[in-house]
Chain A
Amino acid sequence: VFVVAYVGGQDRPLSPRHGPGMRAIALLFSGALLVEIAIAIIGSGLKALDSRGPHVPPGFGSPSAIGQLLLERFLIAFEVASFLLLIAAVGAVVLAGRRRGLEDPETLPERAGSSPMPRGEGGPSVPGEDEATRLPSGGAEGLNDPAVEEPAVT
């Protein structure tokens, strides 16, 4: 819900573009899947399915029991899961991080609030190029050493 609020996209219709045909096929497929799972449950022949399960000791499913299982019997799975979470966090930072080449060059001027300029006329066409193209003409000496030029002007 928070991400919907951040990203938006509510104005876009959620129904499929291909019309009701694909939707009907998808509904048919999911209905067939439901029937298949029902057949699998009914036809499994497990007699314990109709019971309430065995009587378990009072500590069954408690956090201490699960923690003991996690740290003793499933220690490798626990560690692998922690590495997986670490990799996912790094991947999310890499994916969602603000990179220079991520935005399209055409959309950069309109993000800055100005209209997009054509290339080669002084506007920032490529993100790495704007420093060279924006310098005024005749500032060749200042380009070499601007720290010397500026105290002389002021």
Chain B
Amino acid sequence: VNVTWFLVLSAFLFCIGTTGVLTRRNPLVVLLSLELMLNAGNLALIAFARMWGNGDGQVFALVVMVIAACEVVIGLGLIVAIYRRRLAIDVDELSEMRG
């Protein structure tokens, strides 16, 4: 399989994630779509690492996974805090950062 197909799949995944972030209102679905976008970036990184025969891209993919884990941790903490305050779980209504 050529490297191009990996990149095409990565682009499709990234666009699906972008669509989810732009159209959905539930923050859980937004988080899932963000994960999809990050994993598309991971796929592109690993495809390029294979293309150059270099292991650096794989290490960067691991770092991106760490960042994705941090983002999910913070996002889920926010969602749990929102749920405890009985606010609407809706990203359009959660426009204030004031507690």
Contacts and interface: CB of A to CB of B under 8 A. Distances in A.
B81 A66 contact: no
Interface band, chain B? 35 or more
A30 B66 contact: no
A30 B69 contact: no
Interface string A85-127: 1011101111110100011100100000000000000000000
B85 A81 contact: no
Contacts of B49: 61
A2 to B, nearest CB: 10
Contacts, number: 155
A29 B84 CA distance: 35
A103 B83 CA distance: 10
Contact of B15 (A16, A33, A55): A33
Interface band, chain A? 35 or more
A14 B50 contact: no
Interface in A1-44: 3-4, 7-9, 12, 14-17, 22-23, 26-27, 29-31, 33-34, 37-38, 41
B79 A41 contact: no
A96 B81 CA distance: 5
B42 to A, nearest CB: 14
Interface in A54-73: 54-56, 60-61, 65-66, 69-70, 73
A77 B63 contact: yes
Contacts of A37: 11, 14-15
B84 A103 contact: yes
A128 interface: no
A84 B80 contact: no
Contact of A27 (B19, B24, B26): B19
A85 B3 contact: no
Interface stretch (A45-53, A133-141, A146-154): A45-53
Interface of B: 1-4, 7-8, 11-12, 14-16, 18-19, 22-26, 28-29, 49-53, 55-56, 58-59, 62-63, 66-67, 69-70, 73-74, 76-81, 83-86, 88-90, 92
22 contacts: A3-B79, A7-B79, A7-B83, A9-B28, A16-B24, A16-B25, A26-B19, A26-B23, A29-B18, A38-B8, A50-B4, A53-B53, A56-B53, A61-B50, A66-B58, A88-B74, A89-B73, A91-B77, A92-B73, A92-B77, A103-B85, A104-B86
